[in-house]
Amino acid sequence: MKKLAVVILNWNGEEHLAHYLPSVKKYSGQYDIIVIDNDSTDNSVSFLNEHYPNVRVIVNNQNGGFAKGYNDGLKHIENQYQYYVLLNSDVEVTDNWITPIVDLLDSNEKIAGAQPKILADKKRDHFEHAGASGGFIDHNGYPFCRGRIFSEVEEDQGQYDSREEIFWATGACMFIRSDVFHQLGGFDESYFAHMEEIDLCWRAKLKGYSFYCEPSSVVYHLGGGTLSYMSPRKVYLNFRNSLFTVYKNYTGSFLFFKIFYRFILDYIALAMFVLKLDFKSGREVIRAQVHFFKAKPELKEKRREIQKDAQKNISCVYKKSIVWQAFLFGNKKFSSLKMPANR
């Protein structure tokens, strides 16, 4: 079995591949690079075959989104690599980006995965929205990062350069043990895209695994390459998939009340969209809730399987509400949250 494969999911991303793949080739040393093409209609595959003949290309027969795209492609290399790096096509990597994280994973078999520090490609002294310096959730299941709370992104001044255990590692650049990925059944394909990595990490943590951020590894992410961060479609996926994730994975008492409270908070978000005259995004919040109820029977079956032998107390959950901390108390920097040292 080989040590590691860098696996890039591509959909109509010829321009991204031309711009970002050279850094991956330059700084990935002896490790294999594999591109999973999600049934692109542009010239991505022919571009790779012509310019990167040493890059293996796996072609999916449909565009099933981020989740199914990776699941389908990784089946072709199952049991061939100890670790995968799931890397977005719009990420520029840097010298020595792999070694620190491989060393970390090698040090403890209960560390399922990790991420580097993610900085913005277009504003390189700031963290990038999708992952920053490691992901967390609050007790209501809302995600945030060291370096990014909701839409507020911090300048990187080295304030989060310590290696830390985190709740979730970003799908933009996720190092993960291949056996853990496949044992968990991969990403939940009903998500299509967005938040599937949070769900995967949560399920792994319920099985006793942990995740880390290793900031000595640095990459630069363009972000919003498939869907803009302000896209109504992305609003729908984030709100729906967040409800999916909490319903399946939450281990506390009174699940009904937890979901009911989430609905109240989502309606507050809906009101904020309306006040901003963003009626399309507001509509998507309602559509997300409707589709959550339609998916309840399937979610119940998934929850039943996930909760078998699940650990009840898991680390890196913020015990307060990140919504109230950010919007009521104005705490929009991770350092202002005063999270306990043991998380």
Domain boundaries in the chain? 2-221, 232-312
User: End-to-end distance of the chain based on CA atoms, in angstroms?
Assistant: 35
| DSSP secondary structure code for residue 40 in this structure | -
What is the per-residue pLDDT for 126? Answer: 98
In the structure, what pLDDT confidence band is assigned to residue 75 with cuts at 50, 70 and 90? very high
Tokens 């209501």 — which residue? 140
Q: Does residue 342 carry a pLDDT above 70?
A: no
Q: Does residue 210 carry a pLDDT above 70?
A: yes
Domain 2-221: which CATH number of 3.90.550.10, 3.40.309.10, 3.40.50.300, 3.30.1490.20: 3.90.550.10
What is the per-residue pLDDT for 224? Answer: 66
pLDDT tens across 26-63, in order? 999 999 999 999 999 999 999 999 999 999 999 999 99
What is the per-residue pLDDT for 303? Answer: 97
pLDDT tens across 232-275, in order? 899 999 999 999 999 999 998 899 999 999 999 999 999 999 99
Output the CA–CA distances (angstroms, integers) from residue 29 to 5, 95, 160, in the order listed.
11, 10, 27
Rounded mean pLDDT of 289-299?
97
| DSSP secondary structure code for residue 125 in this structure | T
In sequence order, which residues have a C-beta less than 8 Å from that of residue 278 and are 6 or more positions away? none
What is the per-residue pLDDT for 341? Answer: 53
Q: What is the DSSP string of 232-264?
A: HHHHHHHHHHHHHHHHHH--SS-HHHHHHHHHH
Q: What is the mean pLDDT of the chain?
A: 95
N residues, the chain = 343
What is the per-residue pLDDT for 230? Answer: 64
In the structure, what pLDDT confidence band is assigned to residue 292 with cuts at 50, 70 and 90? very high
pTM for this predicted structure: 0.95
